[in-house]
Amino acid sequence: MNNLLSRHAESIFWLARQVERANSTARILDVNESFSRNARGEHDWESVLRLHGDEQIFRATERRPTADAVIHFYVLDGENTNSVLSNISMARENARALRPLISTEMWVQLNGYHNRIKRLRKPDLRVENLNRLCSYIKECCQTHSGITAETLYRDESWYFHQIGRALERADQTTRLVDVKYQVLLPQPSDVGSPVDEAQWNTVLRSAAGFHAFRRVNPHSLSPSQVVEFLLFDKRFPRSVAASVLVANEHLAALRLKYGHNSKRAASNLLRKLTASLAEDTAEDLIARGLHEGLDEIQAELAGVTDALGREFFLLAEPDGTLQASIA
Amino acid sequence: MKERRPAGLLEGYDPGGFFCETFGGPKQPADHTRTVRDRLDGLSLAELRRRAQAAERELFNLGVTFTVYTSREQIDRILPFDVIPRVLSAAEWDTIERGVIQRVTALNRFIEDVYHEQRILRDGVVPAELVLGNANFRPQMQGLAVPFGSYVNICGVDIVRGGDGRFYVLEDNARTPSGVSYVVENRHLTQRAFPDLMRNIGVRSVSNYGQRLIGKLTELAAGIGEPPSVVLLSPGVYNSAYFEHVFLAREMGVPLVEGRDLVVRDERVFMKTTGGLQRVNVIYRRIDDDFLDPEVFNPQSMLGVRGLMRAYRAGNVVLANAVGTGIADDKAVYAYVPRIVKYYLGEEAILPNVETHICREGEGLEYTLEHLEELVVKPVGASGGYGILIGPHAGRKALAEFRRKLRADPGNYISQPVVQLSVCPTVTRSGIEARHVDLRPFAVTGRSTWVLPGGLTRVALRKGSLIVNSSQGGGSKDTWVLE
């Protein structure tokens, strides 16, 4: 059997990331909507824009960052490459290119998912319907994962899918933590207040981690415990540490089974990241500056993606030359 | 008491004086379709419609679609599927199969001759300027040998049946014919939606097309790679036939590549993989000659592979179909195919041509101008049923306009009498009605030729229409060849 086409490896890596990104976007909108329902009433939706570094692009829409405008921007705005619609459209286009590899069931589901997102109208996006919409988006993303696990042939494409999903999830979880901690920077007087606790509670729930967190910490809920859990708990599947581990394991298995040993930059970066996550604690990280720490993790994850691109996707150098040897 | 039998589905069906694929003609009743007719008669129109709708929905969900791109979005369309099958008897198929093999054999001999000795041109059987001046003639192919002299490895021959019940060839498709995926998918659909209709009838299978195809492609690579590495080269997801490319790659189990996935080094072709560059021996290409290699053909092409022709000429890669086969399916060359068959094989054509007048010849032009209102006039370069004049359906203004066009550029046209295309019972809004059909069998050639039993039956869904192309309101039917 031939090795996987580089283009297909890249497509399935991004397909997995795009679906996972839609999943996370839904979770972030959901959590932000929950915050906005808190005792203080009006809530700042601009925070979601800052979180993704999308303030400038949003400004181009010439709309005020109201709830409706931001929700539309992240769900249905085709001009916004981070919107659910954009991600699912790109995932579908990738799936179309991957049709010779993926199962028909994977294609049918993504195609239907895309068609339903495309058909969403204004009333579906109203704040009062947002929770239902976000649940629906999450569920479709999870269905994709399930069908993929059940039907995708376990060749290289499976590994690239898993690596892509894990890297995206790690990245998105750092952003989910950030939405609460950095952007909604608590007033000193709020720390430990019922409002603050309710918000941390919501963050955990949006990552589907509330009950697991409770089992680990039955008696208390402090910001550093939540950060510890979401970033470092290897048993929680959406944590950064668990996701980096998954990416690392799948990359190692890919190398072993398919003999990819010429370049190892991506593996080295992932190992370094795994080690630093293992050594770190939430307390230390918060003391050093959580936002900066999360930014650093994001940059390291981006470095892994670049290294994968150079090693496996055979992307041409900036001068157009191709650094690839004959197998 | 007499039991009241509901009116049969086909009761009241009127072939309108045309030869009918299901009922035959006045002198040739179609006995072989009796069982199918009886079974169809046992279904109600509502039941048939219900199953037809379910079948079409399934095609859409499975993505058995062609894609139409507008400036704003892409629209996936299915090729409309009519559930009433077109049934060919074993004897009818025998004629078609032998005729297609004969024709493909002769076309291959013709192409080989044109790119080597050009005997047929020197002997004046086919006018030299018609071939050498043809836009599809590729001087790069001169003197280049291809395995087994097999240039047209995949050929689609468009066949129609006239009022006399005989089959005629309307057109050869010797470059990159499409449609075979619908043959297989239509069959799968019939099997799911109408198991009761097919039971114990003995319909020849079409599901092994992919295996046959890769078998033939592998034959062509003898001595190049063991086992050879075969790929299917597609223009990509934006091509309207992309689904078929996916289908064929999957049925063969080979990578579906695009031009950007391939590179040429030292006159060898490689594909870019996660493990580095891997050698490619055979390319089933679904890209026209023009776009294959920007070094040799259209320099603007983004779809092809730079250096591919060098590798091809060095004998390091097989292209299927070979480059330059367009000279064999040109509408003007078509007129000479019966003579081409005779010249190389010493036989009469088993499947005759439709009578054809070549307007580049004075006699043909004169005849065409005189009988324009009775003739079908086709531009020789175009495809897909575009730019065709159907005389009997054209108004006076249109005829006058076409006369001017003809006089201005006679070399661009051929004309044929209107063939009274056979009909087949078809589900329409107003019940079961007769609609015109054609047939495109697919022939695959390596060392020898194999023909997929049946082929694509296209049906003109508009009442009275003779144009079956999918771009112009055509649909398709499952085609059964009986054991």
pLDDT tens column, A250-300: 999 999 999 898 788 999 999 999 999 999 999 999 888 888 899 999 999
Q: Does B63 sit within 8 Å of A104, measured CB to CB?
A: yes
The answer on A2 and A145 residing in a single domain is yes
Minimal CA separation from A229 to chain B, in Å: 36
Check B275 against A327: CB less than 8 A apart: yes
Rounded to two decimals, what is the model's pTM? 0.89
If DSSP codes are grouped into helix, strand and coil, which group holds residue B15?
A: coil
Long-range contacts at B347-350 (CB < 8 A, ≥ 24 apart): B347/B102, B349/B99, B349/B102, B349/B103, B349/B169, B350/B95, B350/B98, B350/B99, B350/B102, B350/B103
Query: Which residues from chain A sit within 8 angstroms of residue B185, using beta carbons?
Result: none
Task: Tell me how far apart the alpha carbons of residues B108 and B85 are, in angstroms, rounded to a whole number.
Answer: 32
Do B246 and A322 make contact, defined as CB atoms within 8 angstroms?
A: no
With CA atoms as reference, report the closest residue to B191 among B483, B437, B480. Answer: B480
Residue B71 burial (C-beta neighbours within 10 Å; 0-12, 13-18, 19+):
exposed
Whole-angstrom distance, CA of residue B410 vs CA of residue B308: 37
**CB interface of A with B, residues 264-283, below 8 Å:** none
Q: Are B422 and B162 in contact (CB under 8 A)?
A: yes
The rounded distance, in Å, linking the Cα atoms of A183 and A28 is: 13
Domain boundary among A132, A153, A174: A153
User: Which residues in chain A are contacts of B63 at CB distance < 8 A?
Assistant: 99, 104, 107-108, 111
Look at residue A320 and tell me if it is in a domain. no
* A84 located within any domain: yes
State mean pLDDT over B158-182. Answer: 95
Residues B273, A96: C-beta atoms closer than 8 Å: no
Residue with tokens 């290119």: A97
Q: Are both B225-316 and B357-417 of the same fold? A: no
Token pair of B177, please?
């014919």
The one-letter code for the residue type at A43 is H
Biggest distance spanned by C-alpha atoms of chain A? 64
The answer to whether residue A327 is domain-embedded is no
User: For residue B398, what are its two tokens?
Assistant: 């249109």
Q: How far is B77 from chain A (nearest CA, A)?
A: 13
A-B CB pairs within 8 A amount to: 81
Size (chain A), residues: 327
For the segment A128-154, the average pLDDT, to the nearest whole number, is 96
CB contact under 8 A, B274 and A111: no
Paired tokens of A163: 């690596």
A105/A41 same-domain check: yes
In a mutational test of the B interface, the residue from A90, A96, A111, A321 whose CB has the highest number of chain B CBs within 10 Å is A96
- DSSP reduced 3-state for B12: coil
**B278/A9 CB distance under 8 A:** no
Residue of A nearest to B237 (CA): A97
Is the peptide bond between B379 and the residue preceding it cis, with omega within 30 degrees of 0? Answer: no
Task: Reduce the DSSP state of residue B4 to 3 states and report it.
Answer: coil
Q: Which candidate in A5, A89, A250, A311 is best for mutational testing of the B interface (most B CBs within 10 A)?
A: A5
Tell which wins on pLDDT, B49 or A61.
Answer: B49
Tokens of B224: 């190049």
pLDDT of residue A324: 77
Mutate to test the interface with B, among A4, A86, A98, A99 (most CBs of B within 10 A): A99
SS3 of B138, please?
coil
- For the CA atoms of A78, A84, A90, A96, the dihedral, rounded to the nearest 10 degrees, stands at -120
Domain residue limits, chain B: 1-207+329-354+419-483, 225-316, 357-417
**Residues B330, B127: Cα–Cα separation, whole Å:** 13
For the segment B403-426, the average pLDDT, to the nearest whole number, is: 92
B346-394 pLDDT tens trace: 999 999 999 999 898 889 999 999 999 999 998 876 555 568 888 988 9
Q: Which fold has domain B357-417?
A: Dna Ligase; domain 1 (3.30.1490)
Residues in B closer than 8 angstroms to A8, CB to CB, are: 255
Cα–Cα distance between B442 and B178 in angstroms, integer?
A: 9
User: What are the backbone angles phi and psi of residue A250, rounded to the nearest 5°?
Assistant: -70, -35
Question: Residue B313 belongs to what H/E stretch?
Answer: helix B308-313
pLDDT tens readout for residues A5-26: 999 999 999 999 999 999 999 9
Is A315 in the B-facing interface, judged by CB distances under 8 Å? Answer: no
Do A13 and A94 sit in the same domain of this protein?
yes
Which pLDDT band, with edges at 50, 70 and 90, does A34 fall under?
confident
Average pLDDT over residues B327-339: 91
Secondary element (H or E) of residue B209:
helix B209-220
Q: Is A312 on the interface with B (CB under 8 A)?
A: yes
Looking at residue A284, the DSSP 8-state letter turns out to be H
| Domain annotation covers residue A325 | no
Nearest to B275 among A96, A99, A258 (CB): A258
pLDDT value of residue A30: 87
Both tokens assigned to A157: 């494409």
- Residue predicted with more confidence, B412 or A4: A4
Q: Which of B250, B260, B276 sits opposite A326 (nearest CB)?
A: B276
**Residues A131, A168 within the same domain:** no
Q: Write down the pLDDT at residue B380.
A: 78
pLDDT in tens, A187-218: 555 656 666 777 788 788 888 899 999 999 99
Domain identity same for A171 and A144: no
Same domain as A114, residue A11: yes
Q: Between B116 and A194, whose confidence is greater?
A: B116
Beta bridge partners of B341: none
| Segments forming the whole domain that contains residue A196 | 163-315
B70 pLDDT band, cuts 50/70/90, is low
**More confident of the two residues B63 and A186:** B63
Residue type, A247: A
Question: Where are the strands (E) in B334-430, listed by range?
Answer: 357-358, 375-379, 389-390, 413-417, 423-428
A326 lies in a domain? no
Q: What is the DSSP letter of B141?
A: G
Q: State residue B365 phi and psi, 5-degree precision.
A: -65, -45
Q: How far apart are CA B95 and CA B104, in angstroms?
A: 14
Whether residue A89 has pLDDT greater than 90: yes
Contacts of B244 in chain A (CB under 8 A): none
Contact A2 B229 (CB under 8 A): yes
Of all residues in chain A, the one with the smallest CA distance to B61 is A108
Which range, of A167-171, A207-211, B142-146, B261-265, averages the lowest pLDDT? Answer: A207-211
Percentage helix, strand, coil for chain A under 3-state DSSP, each rounded to 5: 70, 0, 30
CB atoms within 10 A of CB B382: 12
In this structure, is residue A322 part of a structural domain? no
Domain count, chain A: 2
A7 neighbourhood in chain B, CB within 8 Å: 258, 260-261, 272
> What per-residue confidence (pLDDT) applies to B71?
61
CA neighbor of B104 nearest in space, from B303, B369, B321, B372: B321
Cα separations in angstroms, B288 against B230, B315, B444: 18, 20, 18
Quick one: A7 and A148 in the same domain? Answer: yes
d(CA B275, CA B273): 5
Which pLDDT does position A120 carry in this prediction? 94
Tell whether A324 is covered by a domain: no
Give the Cα separation of B43 and B431 in Å (integer). 13
Q: Are A199 and A281 contained in the same domain?
A: yes
Q: Smallest CA–CA separation between A257 and chain B, in Å? A: 12
B225-316 under CATH 3.40.50.11290, yes or no: yes
Residues A185, A280, single domain; the answer is: yes
| Full strand arrangement of the beta sheet holding B389-390 | B357-358, B413-417, B375-379, B389-390
Rounded distance between C-alpha atoms, residue B123 and residue B120, angstroms: 5
Q: Which of A2, A100, A259 has the CB atom closest to B246's CB atom?
A: A100
Considering just the CA atoms, what is the radius of gyration of chain A in Å? Answer: 20
How close, in Å, is residue A203 to chain B by CA atoms?
37
pLDDT for res A39: 47
Q: Which residues on B lie below 8 Å from A9 (Cβ)?
A: 274
**Contact at CB, B255 and A324, closer than 8 angstroms:** no
Grouping H, G, I as helix, E, B as strand and the rest as coil, residue B92 is: helix
* Candidate from A93, A108, A327 with C-beta closest to B62: A108
| Shortest CA distance from A102: residue in chain B | B250
Q: Which residues of B are less than 8 Å from A326 in CB distance?
A: 265, 270, 276-279
d(CA A47, CA A184): 7
B432 contacts: CB under 8 Å, gap ≥ 6: B9, B10, B13, B45, B84, B425, B426
Write down the pLDDT at residue A319.
75
Q: Which residue of B246, B270, B273 is in closest CB contact with A99?
A: B246
pLDDT, position A231? 96
Residues of B within an 8 Å Cβ radius of A: 61-63, 229, 236-237, 242-243, 246, 249-250, 255-258, 260-261, 263, 265, 270-279
Contact between A9 and B271 using a beta-carbon 8 Å cutoff:
no
What whole-number distance in Å separates Cα of residue B438 and Cα of residue B92?
Answer: 14
How far, CA to CA in Å, does B476 sit from each of A7, B19, B132, B172?
A: 34, 18, 36, 19
Answer whether A324 sits within 8 Å of B260, measured CB to CB: no
Is it the case that residue B31 has pLDDT exceeding 50?
yes
Residue where the block lists tokens 């963050």: A203
**Of the candidates B129, B136, B163, B161, which has an alpha carbon nearest to the alpha carbon of residue B151?**
B136
C-alpha to C-alpha distance for B359 and B348, rounded to whole angstroms: 25
Query: What integer pLDDT is reported at residue A192 of this predicted model?
Result: 61
Q: Cβ(B156)–Cβ(B432) under 8 Å?
A: no
Tokens of B383: 């495809």
| Contact check, Cβ <8 Å, A4/B274 | yes
Within its chain, how far is the Cα of A72 from the centroid? 19
Max CA separation in chain B (angstroms): 87
Q: Which residues of B touch A107 (CB under 8 A)?
A: 63
| A71 and A208 share one domain | no
A100 touches chain B (CB under 8 A): yes
**For residue A234, what are its two tokens?**
């290897």
Whether residues A123 and A146 fall in one domain:
yes
- Chain A residues whose beta carbon lies within 8 Å of the beta carbon of residue B256: 99-100
Are A52 and A167 contained in the same domain?
no
Say how many Å lie between the first and final Cα of chain A, rounded. 13
Mean pLDDT of all residues belonging to chain A: 89
- Single-letter code of the amino acid located at B87: V
Q: Which residue has the higher pLDDT, B332 or B117?
A: B117
What does DSSP assign to residue B24?
B
Asked if B108 contacts B149 with a C-beta cutoff of 8 angstroms, the reply is yes
